[in-house]
């Protein structure tokens, strides 16, 4: 029951949702298909409207006995109830259904409650409520257990039977709470110790809940019947004038239904394992239909004076009437579209907030007695029903995500993904191996292809050159053809001109010229077509050439890269050559230096050569001088031999020399010459000549040395310069007698000098 005009308005403007038969779980609808009773109108237009049926209780024995007239007349076929104030005044009221005294419990259930039950099974909230004067059959209609006679079963039992028949045992859940509102206090009928249960409204959804109330999950109908019986036994009842078992409280059976939209599929592990990520998106989340069915057996309204109650029961009745009055006010306000709905005036209206002006599909059965004795109560009940018919609820599907199922599903999915990941990992590793193998093969293939490519490149290069040549020749030919064509055109022009002239002059030759012109035109056309063919060929060739050029460009790029590499190599080689050149220059300089040294040595050698030649000349000259004076020298020598060796050896001593002028002059001249030679040639050179292989040179040299050795001044130097040793060697090695003689003379002189005691 909406508490404000705003909330009610917003609910009313919402789309009226018909039962989601397509979306709901598949369940048998045999009962609706085989309906033998008329049910409430199902038109979409007012599907959210509170449906109201009226049921007339059969007359009690007392009523029969007292022979009260009926104030109620039913027209079931018209769904009308005629309320007779008296014999001449009556009012007719239309209801969604009217049930006569003889209406069976089954028919009442199917017409009033079954559509609501089906709606609840489809996920909508629903309310079935009985309203009426005390003793008119509300409990009979709603709460009859019918243990002995199932046909007597009331709406509660039948609704539960229907629900059981339609639920999937594995996935769907049904639970009940059974409560009573007594003296404005809510008490748990299943656990009566629980009293003062609060009514809590969700500020967002408007959902009403009763925290602390016992909720028992129902497994089977027997269990439910037992619980219902327990509840009934805990319900406040009293014996009144109007009802021996008058209910002194409003009883509310709350049936909670949770239905999984996925049903059996959800439990199938393999199907869960195959769930993909996209299937876990919002659209594929497992949804739960959560609905609630309220079956309300109201306490009966009664007039204290008529019911004959007293004491505590008066207090009870006041509370009952108070809550029913509040309900009536709310219904009135809703029926009149009042901006204010006094929902909060009683706990009953708060409990029924969703049933009137809320989102539930609501059916109300109003019960009346037939007797005119209770005309005003019946009229009041009828008016309550009439106003309730004007209340329109915004029926809404109660669907929410089934997180429990989702969690289960996700766990399966994670397991599946883990195994799948392992499998994929193995596959990837295998793939990697295969790819590596393939890569190696491809690399080998690439090398081979590169080789082929280089060959092909060369071939293409050749082909390109060839094509270029061909293109040139074709262009040339084309130009020739063009020029020919131009010529022909010119010729045709000339001919046409001639023809015109000839036409004037020679009419008879016209035909001939025309023929010729025709031929020429044909030729021209042929040529043109040929030209066109050639142009086509040329374009083809150009296209082919351009294709080749592209590949050649690619290849040229590669060639450029190679060139760059070659250039780099050239640069390296150039730097190396430069360094070699520098080295060469260094070597050239060294060579020049060596050449200079060589030249110096050559000059020196030349100088030595010249010096040698001078010496040779001198020696020759000395030879001649010696030859001239040989005889004299020999005689001098023999003379010396006869005297002492000492006097012989004193060749240079002028006292020992014979006193002839000529000899003195000659010896003096020789001495001068020898001194001169000695100064000019040098002792070392003369001693070197002693080793000469030329016997004459050797002899002359030894003579010179002997002469020098004869003079005391020279003897020291000769010995120092190794002359004595050389002479000894000469004496030993030479076989020439003259040499021997002169040498031994020189040695004797020197020895005398070195060893005077001898």
Ligand X SMILES: Nc1ncnc2c1ncn2[C@@H]1O[C@H](COP(=O)(O)OP(=O)(O)OP(=O)(O)O)[C@@H](O)[C@H]1O
- The tokens for 75 are 């027209």
Q: How far is the CB of 252 from ligand X (least distance, A)?
A: 14
Three-state secondary-structure class, residue 419:
helix
> In the set 119, 125, 127, 139, which binds ligand X (CB under 6 A)?
139
Q: Which helix (H) or strand (E) holds 698?
A: helix 695-709
Report how far residue 721's alpha carbon sits from residue 251's, in angstroms, rounded to the nearest whole number: 165
CB 92 within 8 A of CB 423: no
The residue among 103 and 706 lying less far from ligand X, judged by its C-beta, is 103
Residue 117 CB coordination number (10 Å): 28
CB 220 within 8 A of CB 164: yes
Q: How far is the CB of 317 from ligand X (least distance, A)?
A: 10
Q: How far is the CB of 134 from ligand X (least distance, A)?
A: 4
Candidate ranges 238-246, 519-527, 529-537, 626-634; the one touching ligand X (CB under 6 A):
238-246
Burial class (CB in 10 A: 0-12, 13-18, 19+), 599: exposed
| Nearest Cα residue to 171 out of 325, 58, 288 | 288
> In the set 177, 247, 323, 332, which binds ligand X (CB under 6 A)?
247
Candidate ranges 69-77, 130-138, 223-231, 251-259; the one touching ligand X (CB under 6 A):
130-138
Three-state helix/strand/coil letters over 352-372: CCCCCCCCCEEEEEEEECCEH
Is 358 labelled as part of a ligand binding site?
A: no
The residue among 131 and 513 lying less far from ligand X, judged by its C-beta, is 131
Q: How far is the CB of 116 from ligand X (least distance, A)?
A: 20
> In the set 134, 349, 698, 715, which binds ligand X (CB under 6 A)?
134
Report how far residue 666's alpha carbon sits from residue 334's, in angstroms, rounded to the nearest whole number: 187
Candidate ranges 23-31, 129-137, 438-446, 565-573; the one touching ligand X (CB under 6 A):
129-137
Is 143 labelled as part of a ligand binding site?
A: no
> In the set 24, 25, 135, 358, which binds ligand X (CB under 6 A)?
135
- How many chain residues interact with ligand X (CB under 6 A)? 17
Q: What are phi and psi of 651, to 5 degrees?
A: -60, -35
The residue among 299 and 406 lying less far from ligand X, judged by its C-beta, is 299
Per CB under 6 A, does 307 bind ligand X?
no
Candidate ranges 4-12, 128-136, 640-648, 692-700; the one touching ligand X (CB under 6 A):
128-136
Number of H helices, E strands in the chain: 23, 17
Residues 6+ apart with CB under 8 A from 499: 510, 513, 514, 517
Per CB under 6 A, does 123 bind ligand X?
no
Q: How far is the CB of 159 from ligand X (least distance, A)?
A: 17
Q: How far is the CB of 132 from ligand X (least distance, A)?
A: 6
Per CB under 6 A, does 300 bind ligand X?
yes
The site string for ligand X over 329-368 (x = CB under 6 A, - otherwise) reads --------------------------------------x-
Residues 6+ apart with CB under 8 A from 266: 171, 260, 272, 286, 405, 408, 409
Q: How far is the CB of 233 from ligand X (least distance, A)?
A: 15
Per CB under 6 A, does 249 bind ligand X?
no
- The number of angstroms, rounded, from the C-alpha of 192 to the middle of its chain's C-alpha atoms is 64
Per CB under 6 A, does 138 bind ligand X?
yes
Per CB under 6 A, does 246 bind ligand X?
yes
Per CB under 6 A, does 378 bind ligand X?
no
Could you list the beta-strand ranges (E) of 440-524: none
Three-state secondary-structure class, residue 400:
strand
Report how far residue 34's alpha carbon sits from residue 54's, in angstroms, rounded to the nearest whole number: 24
Candidate ranges 133-141, 205-213, 324-332, 595-603; the one touching ligand X (CB under 6 A):
133-141
Q: How far is the CB of 300 from ligand X (least distance, A)?
A: 3
Per CB under 6 A, does 140 bind ligand X?
yes
Report how far residue 317's alpha carbon sits from residue 323's, in angstroms, rounded to the nearest whole number: 10
Give Dmax (Cα) for the chain. Answer: 230
The residue among 180 and 247 lying less far from ligand X, judged by its C-beta, is 247
> In the set 25, 137, 370, 745, which binds ligand X (CB under 6 A)?
137
Candidate ranges 25-33, 127-135, 328-336, 627-635; the one touching ligand X (CB under 6 A):
127-135
- The tokens for 535 are 């142009």
> In the set 52, 174, 289, 299, which binds ligand X (CB under 6 A)?
299
- The tokens for 622 are 């000395």
Is 135 labelled as part of a ligand binding site?
A: yes
Residues 622-651 contacting ligand X, CB under 6 A: none
CA distances from 710 to 356, 623, 642, 727 (A): 176, 19, 18, 14
Candidate ranges 244-252, 457-465, 470-478, 657-665; the one touching ligand X (CB under 6 A):
244-252
- The number of angstroms, rounded, from the C-alpha of 456 to the middle of its chain's C-alpha atoms is 40
Could you list the beta-strand ranges (E) of 198-334: 200-201, 208-209, 216-217, 237-238, 246-247, 250-260, 287-297
Q: How far is the CB of 129 from ligand X (least distance, A)?
A: 12
CA distances from 497 to 12, 492, 530, 756 (A): 102, 8, 26, 150
Q: How far is the CB of 256 from ligand X (least distance, A)?
A: 25
The residue among 262 and 302 lying less far from ligand X, judged by its C-beta, is 302
Is 476 labelled as part of a ligand binding site?
A: no
Is 132 labelled as part of a ligand binding site?
A: yes
The residue among 179 and 730 lying less far from ligand X, judged by its C-beta, is 179
Is 471 labelled as part of a ligand binding site?
A: no
Residues 6+ apart with CB under 8 A from 633: 626
Q: Which residue has the tokens 């959560």?
A: 290
- The number of angstroms, rounded, from the C-alpha of 520 to the middle of its chain's C-alpha atoms is 74
> In the set 46, 149, 184, 245, which binds ligand X (CB under 6 A)?
245
> In the set 136, 180, 707, 753, which binds ligand X (CB under 6 A)?
136
Q: How far is the CB of 56 from ligand X (least distance, A)?
A: 8
Is 643 labelled as part of a ligand binding site?
A: no
Per CB under 6 A, does 443 bind ligand X?
no
Q: How far is the CB of 242 from ligand X (least distance, A)?
A: 7
Residues 40-59 contacting ligand X, CB under 6 A: 57-58
Q: Which residue has the tokens 């045999």?
A: 30
CA distances from 421 to 269, 411, 521 (A): 18, 15, 82
Q: At what angle do helices 510-628 and 630-642 cross, to 10 degrees?
A: 40
Per CB under 6 A, does 243 bind ligand X?
yes
The site string for ligand X over 444-483 (x = CB under 6 A, - otherwise) reads ----------------------------------------
Q: How far is the CB of 36 from ligand X (least distance, A)?
A: 19
Burial class (CB in 10 A: 0-12, 13-18, 19+), 501: exposed
Per CB under 6 A, does 126 bind ligand X?
no
DSSP states along 327-347: HHHHHHHHHTT-SB--GGG-H
The residue among 98 and 545 lying less far from ligand X, judged by its C-beta, is 98
Is 137 labelled as part of a ligand binding site?
A: yes
CA atoms within 13 A on the CB side of 221: 17
The residue among 54 and 254 lying less far from ligand X, judged by its C-beta, is 54
Candidate ranges 132-140, 330-338, 585-593, 740-748; the one touching ligand X (CB under 6 A):
132-140
Q: Which residues are registered as beta bridge partners of 178?
A: 253
Residue ranges at the known binding site:
132-139
Residues of this chain that interact with ligand X (CB under 6 A) are 57-58, 132, 134-140, 243, 245-247, 299-300, 367
| Residue stretches of the annotated binding site for ATP | 132-139
């Amino acid at each position: 029951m909406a508490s404000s005009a705003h909330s009610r308005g917003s609910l009313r403007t919402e789309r009226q949702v018909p039962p989601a038969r397509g979306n709901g779980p598949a369940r048998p609808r045999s009962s609706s298909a085989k309906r033998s009773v008329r049910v409430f109108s199902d038109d979409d237009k007012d599907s959210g409207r509170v449906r109201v049926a009226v049921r007339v209780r059969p007359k009690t024995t007392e009523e029969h006995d007292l022979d009260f007239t009926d104030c109620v007349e039913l027209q079931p076929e018209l769904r009308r109830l005629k309320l007779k104030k008296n014999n001449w005044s009556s009012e007719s009221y239309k209801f969604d259904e009217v049930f006569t005294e003889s209406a069976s419990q089954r028919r009442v259930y199917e017409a009033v409650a079954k559509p609501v039950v089906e709606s609840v099974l489809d996920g909508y909230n629903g309310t079935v409520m009985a309203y009426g004067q005390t003793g008119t059959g509300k409990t009979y209609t709603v709460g009859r257990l019918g243990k002995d006679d199932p046909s007597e079963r009331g709406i509660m039992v039948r609704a539960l039977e229907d629900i059981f028949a339609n639920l999937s045992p594995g996935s769907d859940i049904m639970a009940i709470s059974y409560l009573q509102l007594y003296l404005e206090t809510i008490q748990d009928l299943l656990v009566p110790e629980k009293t003062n249960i609060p009514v809590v409204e969700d500020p967002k959804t408007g959902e009403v809940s009763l925290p602390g109330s016992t909720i028992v999950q129902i497994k089977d109908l027997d269990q439910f019947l037992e619980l219902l019986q327990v509840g009934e036994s805990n319900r406040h009842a009293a014996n009144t004038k109007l009802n021996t078992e008058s209910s002194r409280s409003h009883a509310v059976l709350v049936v909670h239904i949770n239905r999984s939209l996925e049903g059996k599929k959800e439990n199938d592990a393999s199907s869960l394992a195959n769930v993909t990520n996209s299937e876990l998106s919002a659209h594929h989340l497992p949804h739960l239909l959560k609905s609630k069915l309220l079956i309300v057996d109201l306490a009966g309204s009664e007039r204290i004076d008529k019911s004959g109650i007293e004491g505590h029961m008066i207090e009870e009745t006041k509370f009952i009437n108070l809550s029913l009055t509040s309900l009536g006010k709310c219904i009135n306000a809703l029926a009149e579209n009042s901006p204010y709905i006094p929902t909060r005036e009683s706990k009953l209206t708060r409990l029924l907030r969703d049933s009137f002006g809320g989102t539930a599909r609501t059916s109300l059965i109003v019960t009346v007695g037939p007797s005119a004795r209770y005309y005003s109560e019946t009229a009041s009940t009828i008016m309550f029903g009439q106003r309730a018919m004007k209340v329109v609820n915004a029926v809404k599907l109660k669907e929410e995500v089934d997180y429990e199922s989702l969690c289960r599903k996700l766990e399966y999915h994670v397991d599946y993904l883990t195994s799948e990941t392992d499998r994929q990992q193995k596959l990837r590793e295998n793939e990697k191996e295969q790819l590596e193998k393939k890569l190696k093969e491809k690399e080998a293939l690439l090398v081979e292809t590169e080789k082929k490519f280089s060959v092909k490149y060369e071939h293409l290069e050749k082909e390109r050159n060839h094509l270029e040549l061909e293109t040139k020749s074709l262009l040339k030919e084309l130009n020739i053809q063009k020029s020919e064509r131009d010529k022909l055109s010119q010729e045709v022009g000339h001919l046409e001109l001639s023809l015109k002239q000839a036409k004037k002059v020679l009419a008879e030759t016209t035909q001939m010229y025309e023929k010729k012109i025709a031929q020429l035109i044909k030729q021209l056309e042929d040529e043109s077509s040929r030209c066109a063919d050639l142009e086509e060929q040329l374009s083809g060739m150009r296209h082919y050439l351009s294709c080749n050029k592209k590949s050649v460009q690619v290849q040229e790029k590669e060639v450029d890269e190679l060139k760059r590499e070659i250039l780099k190599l050239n640069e390296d080689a150039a730097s190396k050559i430069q360094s070699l050149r520098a080295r060469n220059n260094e070597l050239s300089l060294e060579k020049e230096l060596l050449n200079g040294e060589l030249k110096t040595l050559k000059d020196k050698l030349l100088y030595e050569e010249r010096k040698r030649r001078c010496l040779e000349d001198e020696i020759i000259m000395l030879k001649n001088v010696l030859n001239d004076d040989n005889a004299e020298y020999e005689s001098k020598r023999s003379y010396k031999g006869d005297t002492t060796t000492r006097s012989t050896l004193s060749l240079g001593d002028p006292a020992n020399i014979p006193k002839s002028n000529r000899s003195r002059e000659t010896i003096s001249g020789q001495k001068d010459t020898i001194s001169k030679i000695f100064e000019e040639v040098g002792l070392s050179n003369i001693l070197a000549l002693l080793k000469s292989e030329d016997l004459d040179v050797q002899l002359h040299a030894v003579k010179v040395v002997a002469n020098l050795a004869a003079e005391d001044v020279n003897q020291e130097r000769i010995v120092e310069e190794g002359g004595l040793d050389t002479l000894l060697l000469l004496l030993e090695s030479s076989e020439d007698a003259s040499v021997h003689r002169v040498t031994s003379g020189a040695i004797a002189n020197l020895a005398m000098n070195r060893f005077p005691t001898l």
